[in-house]
């Protein structure tokens, strides 16, 4: 029997740094945000293991709080490229930043690493509003719309907390993306999200109770 150990966070970040320049033309995610997403996913893995072993989560909870604070302090203005396409860079960078923040809060709340209190929920709502605002700009720019898949997916999950207007916008955007990109993957996303919304139970684990892949 062969035992395969999961890579450490340091190994994952090292591999990501090597791969990032090859990946960047296909996602346009700011590197700092990209690495925050990796750290969030790694923290989720550590929390899942700790819950199984019934270990104390205090240290992981502090790491989650620090990670969210660092992510929120990331400056898109400093990252965005100057010049005639600056508005495009600001829009895509902001969409990824706020999508990562929504992912951070929702996915870490679900594992009890972030509190489900009024202050944190207000942060989630604020990032959700800003994600929708900047994502509309990204989709409105011909040069950036094809890079909207991950922010759109996160916005769709966050729409579980929203009303019909936000959900209708997500559905319409999925239809538009399918038409523009010539792929049915956005339609698959739309179908999964409609089932999730209809459940009446918003939350990261409630949506992703099994693995999904939405690549478009």
User: Could you give the CA distance from residue 81 to residue 140 in angstroms, rounded to a whole number?
Assistant: 19
Query: Mean per-residue pLDDT for 92-116?
Result: 97
Strongest mean pLDDT among 28-37, 48-57, 93-102: 93-102
Mean pLDDT of the chain: 89
Of 68, 64, 24, nearest to 46 by C-alpha is 64
pTM (predicted TM-score):
0.89
Paired tokens of 46 = 């550590």
pLDDT-above-90 percentage for the chain: 70
User: Can you give the pLDDT at residue 24?
Assistant: 59
Rounded to 5 degrees, what are φ and ψ at 8?
-75, 165
Report the C-alpha gap between 15 and 198 in whole angstroms.
Answer: 39
Distance of CA 173 to the CA centre of its chain: 17
Q: What is the pLDDT of residue 5?
A: 46
Using one digit for the tens of pLDDT, what is the confidence trace for 130-149?
999 999 999 999 889 989 99
pLDDT in tens, 33-87: 999 999 999 999 999 888 888 888 899 999 999 999 999 999 999 999 888 899 9
- Coil, helix or strand at residue 100: helix
Q: Give me the pLDDT at residue 28, please.
A: 85
- Nearest CA among 130, 92, 93, 125 for reference residue 109: 125
Please check the confidence at residue 213 and state whether its pLDDT lies above 70.
no
* CA 132 – CA 91 distance, rounded (Å): 11
Q: Of 40, 96, 31, whose CA–CA distance to 69 is shortest?
A: 40
**For residues 108 and 51, is the Cβ–Cβ distance under 8 A?**
no
Mean pLDDT (whole number) for 98-111 = 97
Write the pLDDT tens digit of every residue in 146-194.
899 999 999 999 999 999 999 999 999 999 999 988 889 999 999 999 9
pLDDT of residue 1: 42
């Amino acid at each position: 029997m062969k035992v395969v150990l999961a890579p450490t966070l340091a190994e994952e970040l090292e591999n990501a740094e090597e791969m990032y320049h090859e990946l960047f033309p296909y996602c346009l995610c700011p590197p700092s945000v990209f690495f925050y997403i990796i750290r969030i996913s790694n923290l989720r893995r550590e929390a899942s293991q700790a819950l199984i072993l019934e270990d104390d989560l205090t240290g992981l909870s502090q790491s989650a709080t620090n990670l969210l604070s660092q992510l929120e302090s990331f400056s898109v203005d400093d990252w965005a490229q100057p010049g005639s396409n600056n508005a495009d860079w600001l829009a895509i960078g902001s969409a990824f930043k706020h999508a990562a923040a929504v992912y951070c809060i929702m996915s870490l709340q679900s594992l009890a690493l972030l509190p489900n209190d009024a202050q944190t929920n207000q942060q989630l709502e604020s990032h959700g509003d800003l994600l929708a605002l900047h994502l509309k700009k990204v989709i409105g720019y011909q040069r950036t719309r094809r890079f909207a898949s991950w922010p759109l997916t996160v916005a769709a999950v966050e729409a579980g907390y929203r009303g019909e207007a936000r959900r209708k916008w997500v559905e319409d955007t999925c239809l538009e993306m399918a038409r523009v990109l010539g792929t049915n993957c956005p339609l698959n996303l739309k179908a999964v999200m409609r089932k999730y919304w209809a459940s009446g139970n918003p939350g990261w684990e409630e949506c992703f109770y099994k693995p999904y892949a939405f690549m478009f």
